[in-house]
A and B are shown apart, each in its own frame.
Chain A
Amino acid sequence: MSAAEVLRRLPLALTVFGVAIALIYILFVTNAVPDSGIGNWRTTNFGSAVSDPSDFFYTVLDSVTFAGLLFIVASGFTLIFGLMRTVNMAHGSFFLIGGYIAYDVQQSMTTSSGFGLTSAQVGWWQWIVPAIVASAAVSVIGLGMQQGFLRWNQGQEIRQALITIAVSLILADQMIAHWGGVEKNIAFPNDVGTGTAFIKLGGLSYAWSRIFILLVAVGIGVGLWLWLHKTRIGMVIRAGVDDRHMVSALGVNVQAVFALSFLVGSALAGFGGVMGGSFAGLAPEVDGQWLLNALVVVIIGGMGSLGGAAVGALLFAFVSNFSGAYLPTTSDQCCTEYSVIVTFALLAFVLALRPLGLFGRPA
């Protein structure tokens, strides 16, 4: 093999090597926390997958279901970027405001005393209606931002990003003013509720709520794919991604297409907020976390690619969950979490090989 060929195959070899090391480590090497003492470098929360398969499967399931939530949020982000090259830095704010609106609607629909709503008190409609209202409200906010501020800056990407940062700054402050700093929780409906519904998977009991998130995410993914690939409007959007001037020249009202995709992208952010608020709760600074999540997913997967968002979500979820569960915990320094470092390493590795992400294409 020539030197160039070796260099070309190096990334694949490195990837295979890294994954193999990680697998061997997780499958065989790690140990559970011993009864006495703090253990050694092999000590982790669960021990190896061979000795403790159930926790291993829980971690796999957690990763896949978390990837579902990541995908819902990131797909809206990537849809907007793919067509308009607009980076919506307010995506995290849309997520959070969607959650808060759903929270308010759900509170008003149930006989709640103001807080501590549990899934047992919530039926299907008391979750679906808030979700729809929140998604619609957020899509209106997003459309307003696009028409009011972004439309006449089309093509000036940095300026658009700065505008959305300004909007997110204002929205974050407004949300603190209206919903305060105390964490709010939306309740899943009783049939899939957190702590009320469990699914039996071959002897393992697993929360329905996470499976529900995954099912909805798959539904959204399939729906988006069908919309983009099997309908006329989807065809126009895909054409617009490739060459929006040509589409415009062919007589398509490209501004209307932009508005529509911004509407859908924002609605997905808002719906993600409802999911995330039911799953983990809503508080100030959650907007920044979810903006970061969406960014990491689409940077890994490639901006503007739906498949990239799915792959990026899976990679990100697996890496962060597994490094949280299987990296050594032994240390006299309590609670150090190295998952953030591993996430960063993943990002750096992908970008070093493919600056536009796994499925990214140049503009």
Chain B
Amino acid sequence: MTRAAQLQSRVERIVGVVILLLLVLGPIGHTVFGSFWVNFILTQSLWLGIAAMSLIFLSAYGGMVSLCQVSMYGISALVLANVVTSGQTKGLHLGWDPWFGVVLAIAITTAIGLAFGALASRSFGIYFLMLTLTIAVLTNYFFGQVTLLSGFGGVGGIQSHTPSLIGNPNLQPDRLYYVSLVVGIAVYVLIRYIVRTPFGITLQGIRDDPVRMASLGYNVSLHRMIAFGFAAFVASLSGILYGWWIDTVNPGTVNLSSVIALLVIAVIGSLFRLEGALVGAFAYVYINNEVENHNWTVPWLGGTFNTMIGVIFLLIVCLSPGGLLGIWGSAFDWLSRHWKTTSPRLAAAAASGSEAVPPPVERTER
């Protein structure tokens, strides 16, 4: 590990612990975060972040930029809404137990994810991107047109049918927040664990060279399909939190703007690092909130939040494909180069610690 990388990981650990402490302790008695922040900004960032983690998991470790993670959390929320609510005008309103709804939402979404994965796992790179986009838009039409399950108005009233653990998120926002936080941390740890298992290592091998992995005897399509199914599972968790948070699931949940919003979140954070999901989600939600509060419009061009976030998105894709975390990482790289040239003592120390590390290779898309 280079000196800069060591320093970076040390700083990141400290920052991570501080943020985690803030997130855990901040809302208690509203010492740091007020209830608007907890309910609106942080909970939203968390469920969006979990959805973005499923996207980034596929992109960083599977080499698959998927645009249908929004559909996955939408499907999960729709299943939840259909199963748990009762007495609504739309949907199946089965009125079953809330926890059973959670289990069913996870199971059905994961199954659909595996099915979509079977379809998409043979496509690579740009074909995969387009295929998942097509799936996403068709899911949106499905929501709108199949009135048995949803229809244009969507299915509402989820908040009155939450488990007793959650209560009514409008009255007790802290509960949903802490559940989201726990789920978020669990998903993060789970993904970090999975990419170290033989399955995760194989998946990364497939990302780097599918042909070679196939000739080594690995079933490339199967691994990619399972990865897709796992990502759908992660997204389904996000969808349940979303359902509890938003109360009504309608086709707008999974429309093209939402698809692009999640992609923007992942790209702004970083397509190559899991932590990017939460950074991107927080940045997106925070900027959106600020723009709407202040009614900002783009000077002399017109347009509002989408133009601004579009320009930020464009700049990040052009200048730093690794997103905000990429900028953060290159700052440390710059620091290490700067040290080498200015201070011979530090440079020597850096050199002694930086042997045998190949230069970072630009990830090629196939």
Contacts and interface: CB of A to CB of B under 8 A. Distances in A.
A307 interface: no
Contact of A174 (B142, B307, B318): B307
A111 to B, nearest CB: 28
A245 to B, nearest CB: 16
Contact of A170 (B123, B129, B135, B306): B306
Interface string A350-363: 01100110000000
Contact of A295 (B134, B313, B317): B134
Interface stretch (B188-196, B260-268, B340-348, B349-357): B260-268
A149 B145 contact: no
A169 B310 contact: yes
B365 A355 contact: no
A163 B125 CA distance: 15
A341 B145 CA distance: 10
Given A163-B314, A174-B301, A177-B303, A351 B126 contact: no
A74 to B, nearest CB: 13
B260 A165 contact: yes
Interface stretch (A61-69, A124-132, A328-336): A328-336
B306 A172 contact: yes
Which of B126, B255, B263, B264 counts the most chain A CB atoms within 10 A? B126
A348 B310 contact: no
Interface residues of A, number: 49
B361 interface: no
Contact of A352 (B119, B256, B302, B314): B119
A344 interface: yes
Contact of B317 (A166, A335, A344): A166
Nearest to B90: A333
A328 to B, nearest CB: 13
A161 B126 contact: yes
Nearest to A81: B126
Contacts of A351: 119, 122-123, 131
A242 interface: no
A87 B302 contact: no
B289 interface: no
Given A292-B137, A340-B141, A355-B123, A87 B311 contact: no
A161 to B, nearest CB: 6
B227 interface: no
B321 interface: yes
B340 to A, nearest CB: 29
Interface of B: 65, 119, 122-123, 125-127, 129-131, 133-135, 137-138, 141-142, 145-148, 151, 255-256, 260, 263-264, 267, 297, 301-307, 309-311, 313-314, 317-318, 321, 365
21 contacts: A87-B129, A149-B318, A157-B125, A157-B126, A158-B129, A162-B317, A165-B260, A165-B313, A170-B306, A173-B310, A174-B301, A177-B302, A291-B256, A299-B131, A303-B127, A334-B147, A336-B147, A339-B145, A340-B138, A341-B146, A356-B127
Interface of A: 85, 87, 89, 149, 156-159, 161-163, 165-170, 172-174, 176-178, 285, 288, 291-292, 295-296, 299, 303, 331, 333-341, 343-344, 347-348, 351-352, 355-356
Please name the 3 residue pairs, one residue from A and one from B, whose CB atoms are nearest each other, closest first.
A177-B302, A173-B306, A170-B310
Given A158-B129, A335-B147, 5 more contacts: A169-B309, A170-B303, A296-B134, A335-B151, A355-B123
